[in-house]
A = this chain, B = another copy of it.
């Protein structure tokens, strides 16, 4: 019994995404050739262009997949924490740890904005981890843990801080840097807490 068409399609798309992610992460977007991807899978460019409009579209699909996996780890860590404040800090720390993966870094943080454009990249982030950060910040404000203030500026400051910190930590050889960074991040966040408000 030969595989059904829908199965075949799913298998091919999955293979292209997997191999694409491998090579994009290892060599960077610009240095990856479509021929190299399809050759590694025993396919041809015709197959790739049947499923994706072009190289950038394949890369975008890979980015979305990476974003979703990072967001999943963030959500899992946040949900395990009690109270909105602990959920925020736990989510931030989980994001830092998830972004330590070199594949995540190269694809999501370095090549992503340049290849897709910053606006598209931001929109993708807003659909995954960015949204959770925004909701977590709104929650701590609603709970009165930090002073009422516009969420958007704060969200972008924190998002950028964590992205850059993740990239730096990956190059750092001192294991204490992660703890120091988390500590510095916590002290920055602590700044926002309303006076006379403990953990919530």
| Residues of A near any B CB (own CB < 8 A) | 28-30, 105, 110-111, 113-115, 117-119, 122, 149-150, 152-154, 156-165, 167-168, 171, 177, 180-181, 183-185, 187-192
Name the residue of chain B whose CB is nearest to the CB of A106.
Answer: B118
Residue from the list B111, B122, B156, B163 in contact with A181, Cβ < 8 A? B156
**B177 near A152 (CB under 8 angstroms)?**
yes
Given the complex, which residues of B lie within 8 Å of A30, measured CB to CB?
30, 114-115
> Taking each of A180, A189, A191, which has the highest tally of chain B beta carbons within 10 Å of its own beta carbon?
A191
Given the complex, which residues of B lie within 8 Å of A119, measured CB to CB?
171
Nearest-neighbour CB distance to chain B for A98, whole angstroms, equals 16
Residue from the list B118, B153, B156, B184 in contact with A110, Cβ < 8 A? B118
Name the residue of chain B whose CB is nearest to the CB of A150.
Answer: B180
Residue from the list B105, B111, B117, B157 in contact with A164, Cβ < 8 A? B157
A87 to B79 alpha-carbon distance, docked (Å): 41
A149 to B184 alpha-carbon distance, docked (Å): 8
A158-B156 in contact given A114-B29, A192-B191 (Cβ < 8 Å): no
A36 to B200 alpha-carbon distance, docked (Å): 58
Could you write out 10 A-B pairs with CB less than 8 Å apart? Answer: A29-B114, A111-B114, A119-B171, A150-B177, A150-B180, A153-B165, A157-B164, A160-B165, A161-B161, A188-B192
